[in-house]
Amino acid sequence: MKKVTLPCGELVAALGQGTWRIGDDPTRRQEEIDCLRRGIDLGLTLIDTAEMYGEGLSEALVGEAIEGRRDEVFIVSKVYPHNASHRSMPVSCDNSLKRLRIDAIDLYLLHWQGDVPLAETVEAFEALKRAGKIRHWGVSNLDTALMRELNDVPGGAAVQTDQVLYNLGRRGVEWDLLPWLRERHIPVMAYSPLEEGRLVQRRELMDFAKRHGMTPSQVAIGWLLAQDGVIAIPKTGNRQRLEENALALEHPLTTAPLRELDALFPPPRGPSPLEMI
């Protein structure tokens, strides 16, 4: 498994597992648990969830899936912006820990910036670190201006990642956010790497994949894995698609096909606002 180094020096899997909408449908529960466990078997040990996902249903399912396998996984969860305060964050974190059935979250993220000042959120994260309830913290959906602001807050430079929308069809972050993060050795966690499944239906990607003996999802994931300091977290609740996606690790894209992809899905030509799903 390709690994990415966090600023704290810890190595995490470059290909992880997303869990948005997992746990929502009780009839699919066992299939989704088996799928996450199969993912861990294949080395996709970074699991991304959030208190928002199904209002705790996703975290609860992840908790069940990692039962007995705590040492193998790196758990990422997220706090709602309105809970990212001195008063509410400890409560949110305790609730997430209970649902996940673990003692500490490996990486706890601010889901997006709300009304709580970043300085207060950083203090609340650091207090949870001292209490042993989280090991590291990071952010999500913060653009370059907000990352600069965070960096200037006392303790803000301890941020471990910015989780943002990034895929072949959404390359805006390459203009300024990615270079800013790379300069500071902060990896990006690319969410919706398949554009919620829509990317794999695009004709140009389907044709490219066929020419290169891959599937469209393998190309979309492989393109992210080919870049330095990028962690991809595709979501699937289906074992066959999970195994298909994991095979992206075994067909790394080389310079010529990457150039071809640049022509099909061009990089940005100027700044653009950070997109969100």
Of 1-9, 62-70, 116-124, 195-203, the window that binds ligand NAP (rule: CB under 6 A) is 195-203
Which DSSP symbol is given to 27? Answer: G
Task: Tell me which of 1, 119, 158, 200 binds ligand NAP, using CB under 6 A.
Answer: 200
Asked if 194 interacts with ligand NAP (CB under 6 A), we say yes
Alpha carbons 176 and 178: distance in angstroms, whole number: 6
Q: Can you tell me the distance from the alpha carbon of 36 to that of 48, in angstroms, rounded to the nearest whole number?
A: 11
C-alpha–C-alpha distance, residues 140 and 95, integer Å? 20
Contacts of the segment 202-210: beta carbons below 8 A, 24+ positions apart: 202/169, 204/264, 204/265, 205/168, 205/264, 205/265, 208/257, 208/260, 208/261, 208/264
What is the x/- site pattern for ligand NAP, positions 258-277, by CB under 6 A?
-------------------x
Nearer Cβ to ligand NAP, position 133 or 235? 235
CA–CA gap between residue 193 and residue 18 (Å, rounded): 10
Residue with structure tokens 């203009």? Answer: 175
Q: Which of residues 221-260 bind ligand NAP (CB under 6 A)?
A: 233-238, 241, 244-245
Give me the residue whose beta carbon is nearest to ligand NAP. 18
Considering the rule CB under 6 A, would residue 206 count as an interface residue with ligand NAP?
no
Binding mask 67-106 for ligand NAP (x = CB under 6 A): ----------------------------------------
Min dist CB 204 to ligand NAP, Å, is 16
Q: Which segments of 115-225 does DSSP mark as H helices, in order?
A: 118-130, 144-152, 177-183, 203-211, 216-225
- Contact status: 196 vs ligand NAP (CB under 6 A): yes
Closest separation between CB of residue 85 and ligand NAP, Å?
19
Between residue 113 and residue 172, which ones bind ligand NAP under the rule CB under 6 A? 140-141, 163
Write down the least CB distance from residue 52 to ligand NAP, Å: 8
Question: Using the rule CB under 6 A, is 44 a contact of ligand NAP?
Answer: no
Least distance to ligand NAP, CB of residue 97, Å: 18
SS3 content of the chain, % helix, strand, coil (to 5): 45, 15, 40
Considering the complex, state which of residue 166 and residue 180 has its C-beta at the smaller distance from ligand NAP: 166
- Rounded distance, CA 125 to CA 100, Å? 18
Q: Among 179, 197, 268, 271, which residue sits at the site for ligand NAP (rule: CB under 6 A)?
A: 197
The CB-of-191 to ligand NAP minimum distance in angstroms stands at 3
Instruction: Give the type of residue at 67.
Output: E
Catalytic residues: 53
- Minimum gap (Å) between residue 29 Cβ and ligand NAP: 13
B/e letters for 230-264, b = 16+ CB within 10 Å, e = fewer, are: bbbbbbbbebebbebbbbbbebebeeebeeebeee
Cβ neighbourhood burial of 39 (10 Å; 0-12, 13-18, 19+) = buried
Chain positions contacting ligand NAP, by CB under 6 A: 18-20, 48, 111, 140-141, 163, 191-197, 200, 217, 233-238, 241, 244-245, 277
